[in-house]
C-alpha cells in the first residue's frame, strides 16, 4: 500500500486522485490518500504574509516521519530550495493559463471601468492593473467554490488557474482563457510535484515512472527565474516555458518568457528567449536558461522592482 499525502482541499484531493490512479496504472500498487491540514489552510491571511512553504512544510514533515510515502503538491507552491534527501517527479503538465470566471460569462474586454475582479495573487493583481482599464482589483482567498460564489455576490469576475478548474470538473464555468500575452502565468502553474524520500527506493521508482521530462524541464526553467531573483511563490513574477522536440535528433527546443512587475502594475520588465537543449541533461540545461534570463532581468532593474514591492 502506497500512502499519498496531500492537502485536504477539494482541489488538492482531486489532483491527488489523478496521481493515485496513475500510480496504480503504472505500478499495480494499491494506494491510500491521506489528507493533511497545512498552515495555509483554514486561514484568510494573504499567502504573501504567511511565508514560503505554507502549503508544503507539513507534508514534508510527514514524509520525514514515514507516515506517508509520497506527497503531492502544486509545483508552484514549492520553495525553490529543494531538500537534498527528497526527490521530485513532474507528471505531464495541465493547461498553465489563467482563466476568467465572470458574472454573465463576460470576457475581460466586456468588463468596463470599475468592474470588480477578485484575485489573491500579486502577480495577477499587477497584470490586471497594468492593462489600464480601470478595474478595481479585490484581494480574495479561499477555495474555488468560495471564489466563484463571490461572482454571485459582490464581484464581477474572478481570476483562477485553468488547471484547477479542469481538475475539479468546473471547466464549463470558464468565461475566458486568458492569453499569456495578457496574463503570464505563475512559474510552474498547472504542474504537479510528486515528492518522496530518496532512501525509499520503492516510492522513488514509482515516482520516476510518472515523470514527464518536457514538463519537468519547463518547470525547471521557470522556477530557476524565481530562485535567482530570490522571490517567493507569491511574488509578482511570471514565467512560462514551452518545450518541444527539436528538429535535430537528441535536441529539444525551449521558448521561455519571464516578467517581473511593480505591485501596482506601473512598471513591468519582460524578456523572452529561445534555446536548444540536449536530451541527456534536459532539466539542468533548462534551469540554466532560466537563471540566465533572471540575470538579464536583474540587469534591467528587476531586483529593485521587487524590493520596492515589499
Residue 200 is a catalytic residue: no
Catalytic choice (7, 123, 167, 257): 123
State residue 273 phi and psi, 5-degree precision: -155, 160
Catalytic residue among 60, 97, 124, 223: 124
Indicate the DSSP class of residue 279: G
Q: Is 141 tagged catalytic? A: yes
- At what angle are helices 282-299 and 302-309 packed, to 10 degrees? 80
* 147 is known as an active-site residue: yes
Rounded-to-integer distance, Cα 298 and Cα 296, Å: 5
Q: Is 209 helix (H, G, I), strand (E, B) or coil?
A: helix
Q: Are 157 and 106 a contacting pair, CB within 8 Å? A: yes
Q: Contact, 142 vs 118, CB < 8 A?
A: no
Q: Is 196 a catalytic residue?
A: no
**What is the spatial distance between Cα 199 and Cα 23, in angstroms, rounded to a whole number?**
19
Active site residue 77: yes
H helical segments located in 153-281: 162-167, 201-210, 213-229
Give the β-pairing of 2-7 and 31-36: parallel
* Measured distance CA(137)–CA(130) in Å, rounded: 11
Active site residue 124: yes
Q: Is 233 a known active-site residue?
A: yes
Q: Which of 106, 116, 133, 141 is catalytic?
A: 141
Q: Among the options 7, 60, 69, 76, which is catalytic?
A: 76
All three cell numbers of 307: 524590493
Residues involved in catalysis: 76-77, 123-124, 141, 147, 233
Amino acid at each position: 500500500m502506497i500512502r499519498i499525502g496531500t492537502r485536504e482541499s477539494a482541489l488538492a484531493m482531486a489532483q491527488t486522485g489523478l496521481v493515485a490512479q496513475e500510480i496504480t496504472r503504472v505500478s499495480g500498487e494499491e494506494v491510500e490518500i491521506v489528507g493533511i491540514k497545512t498552515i495555509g489552510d483554514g486561514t484568510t491571511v494573504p499567502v504573501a504574509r504567511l511565508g514560503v512553504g505554507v502549503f508544503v512544510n507539513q507534508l514534508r514533515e510527514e514524509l520525514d516521519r514515514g507516515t506517508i510515502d509520497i506527497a503531492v503538491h502544486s509545483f508552484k507552491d514549492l520553495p525553490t530550495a529543494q531538500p537534498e534527501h527528497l526527490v521530485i517527479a513532474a507528471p505531464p503538465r495541465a493547461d498553465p493559463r489563467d482563466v476568467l470566471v465572470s458574472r454573465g460569462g463576460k470576457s475581460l474586454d466586456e468588463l468596463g471601468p470599475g468592474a470588480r475582479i477578485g484575485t489573491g495573487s500579486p502577480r495577477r493583481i499587477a497584470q490586471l492593473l497594468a492593462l489600464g482599464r480601470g478595474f478595481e482589483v479585490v484581494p480574495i482567498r479561499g477555495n474555488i467554490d468560495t471564489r466563484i460564489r463571490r461572482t454571485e455576490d459582490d464581484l464581477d469576475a474572478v481570476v483562477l488557474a485553468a488547471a484547477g478548474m479542469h481538475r475539479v470538473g468546473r471547466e464549463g464555468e470558464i468565461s475566458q482563457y486568458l492569453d499569456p500575452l495578457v496574463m503570464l502565468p505563475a512559474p510552474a502553474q498547472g504542474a504537479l510535484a510528486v515528492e518522496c524520500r530518496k532512501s525509499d527506493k520503492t516510492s522513488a521508482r514509482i515516482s520516476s515512472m510518472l515523470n514527464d521530462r518536457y514538463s519537468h524541464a519547463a518547470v525547471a526553467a521557470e522556477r530557476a527565474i524565481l530562485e535567482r531573483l530570490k522571490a517567493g511563490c507569491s511574488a509578482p513574477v511570471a514565467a512560462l516555458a514551452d518545450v518541444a522536440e527539436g528538429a535535430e535528433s537528441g535536441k529539444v527546443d525551449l521558448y521561455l518568457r519571464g516578467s517581473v512587475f511593480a505591485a501596482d502594475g506601473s512598471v513591468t520588465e519582460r524578456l523572452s528567449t529561445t534555446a536548444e537543449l540536449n536530451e541527456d541533461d534536459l532539466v539542468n540545461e533548462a534551469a540554466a536558461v532560466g537563471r540566465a534570463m533572471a540575470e538579464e532581468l536583474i540587469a534591467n532593474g528587476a531586483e529593485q522592482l521587487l524590493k520596492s514591492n515589499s
